[in-house]
Amino acid sequence: MHKFKKNKLAIIGLIVISGFFLLALFANLIAPYNPSAIIENSTQSPSLQHWFGTDEIGRDIFSRILFGARISLSVGFVAVVIAILVGTVVGAVAGYFGGWVDGGLMRFVDVMLAFPSIFLLLTIQVMLQPNIYNVMVVIGLTSWMGVARLVRGEFLVQKERPYVESARAIGAANSRIIFLHILPNAISPIIVAATLGMAGAILTESSLSFLGLGVQPPMPSWGNMLMDAQAYMRDAPWIAVFPGIFILLSVLSLYFVGEGLREEFNPKE
């Protein structure tokens, strides 16, 4: 943490994304209006009464962005947790056992990577009923392959270390060696992957919602707010600008934090 504090961009990113999480957590207390309530004339420009203006049907954009942060950030977080869990297990098993186990699992990873992720996501979402839970699971189950490769590489290195040989010598079970001995020593790249993966998950959720296959109205998310703003880009650009800014800031902040962590965990790079 002492070294991490010296990275100004990473600290700024951490402050911004922490602020967004606090806004999402306390959206019920901070939001001045109900995000689904029609409370004013449509496409009203930003004012003291409505800081970010109103949308195409008269809903307060600031309130919708706060509740949209809750949806977008929670989708990103849960999707990354799913991706990290699946990728870590697959990568750990492949790297530790090697041989045909490693070959079979890595070929499966290659097959998954061969599919264009956006088309795979769209296909699955069309087959399923679009809702927030399906979005979380689908994003998580289509983004674990990079984590698996990363963890496999770490395990290939760590399993040759003396502490692993010592654990084998005293008769420790493979599962104990994998999860209690090697995994804690391979956790740093997983943390970096989780941070960067959450940024990607937020962008993916926004893309799906923008296409109408993500979080469904009236539940607000930054992506479906952009979708609703398409027809008003010239007459009321603030409807798209503010959710776009929040997507940009959240993704940039997570990338800054992830790069800061990567530099500290890999100081020689």
User: How many domains does the chain divide into?
Assistant: 1
**132 vs 24 pLDDT, higher one:** 24
Contact 57, 39 (CB under 8 A): no
pLDDT single digits (tens) 239-269? 889 999 999 999 999 999 888 888 777 655 4
For residue 42, being part of any structural domain is answered with: no
CATH number reported for the structural domain that contains residue 96 in this entry: 1.10.3720.10
Quick check: helix, strand or coil at residue 60? Answer: strand
Mean of pLDDT values over 31-54: 83
For residue 176, being part of any structural domain is answered with: yes
For residue 49, being part of any structural domain is answered with: no
For residue 242, being part of any structural domain is answered with: yes
For residue 37, being part of any structural domain is answered with: no
The pLDDT assigned to 269 comes to: 46
For residue 143, being part of any structural domain is answered with: yes
64 CB-near residues (< 8 Å, 6+ apart): 35, 55, 220, 225
pLDDT single digits (tens) 106-157? 999 998 888 777 777 777 777 777 777 888 888 888 889 989 999 999 999 8
pLDDT above 70 (res 2)? no
What is the extent of the structural domain holding 171?
4-27+57-265
Burial class (CB in 10 A: 0-12, 13-18, 19+), 137: middle
Mean of pLDDT values over 9-30: 90
Mean of pLDDT values over 60-73: 89
Distance (Å, whole) CA 226 – CA 210: 6
For residue 237, being part of any structural domain is answered with: yes
pLDDT single digits (tens) 197-210? 888 888 888 888 88
Give this prediction's pTM: 0.86
pLDDT single digits (tens) 85-103? 999 999 999 999 988 999 9
For residue 43, being part of any structural domain is answered with: no
Note the helical H segments in the chain: 8-25, 27-30, 61-97, 99-114, 117-127, 132-141, 145-158, 162-169, 174-176, 183-185, 187-210, 222-228, 238-265
Q: Tokens in use for 222?
A: 């930054």
Distance (Å, whole) CA 82 – CA 156: 23
